[in-house]
Amino acid sequence: MSCSNLGLGIVALLSVMLGGCGEQDLRIHEAQVRAPVPGVDRTVGYLVLENRSDHHMTLIGATARGVRAIEMHTTRVSEKTGMMQMRPLETVSIAPGASVRFQAGGRHLMLLGVSELNETLAIDLQFADGSSQHVNFTVLALVP
């Protein structure tokens, strides 16, 4: 076997090994966190998770340095009051080939106990299979 063949063999083996952890099967788009309103220590995060694998992925939580807790919420109109209401989500499942969108007025990440943010915020997304994904969220400045 020549050197170049050996090299290709290792690359092929590595890609098989990495394929097992499923990280590259998940694509993240539009990861954004809104800068908190001055004096408020909570804010929201949005993103799109695209599952390019052939199995379900289940998001079970998220953490970030400098943020006390991150919850997953959904927003619904209350049947009783007609007001918008947030409810916690324990898990968010993404079907094979599907995308799940966290966006304004819907599903969102609720960041609680937020200290000062820089231009980006690194959030670790945790999945039911024990894997996690490190995602850099762009921090959006407040619209004046």
User: Which residues sit at the interface with Cu ion, rule CB under 5 A?
Assistant: 73, 86, 110
Closest CB to Cu ion among residues 56, 87:
87
Closest CB to Cu ion among residues 52, 107:
107
- Residue whose Cβ sits closest to Cu ion: 73
List residues bridging with 124 in a β-sheet: 63, 134
Contact residues for 108 (Cβ-Cβ < 8 A; gap 6+)? 44, 45, 46, 72, 73, 74, 75, 102
Closest CB to Cu ion among residues 52, 73:
73
3-state secondary structure of 111: strand
Give the shortest CB-102-to-Cu ion separation in angstroms.
10
Distance CA 95, CA 78 (A): 27
Give the shortest CB-24-to-Cu ion separation in angstroms.
30
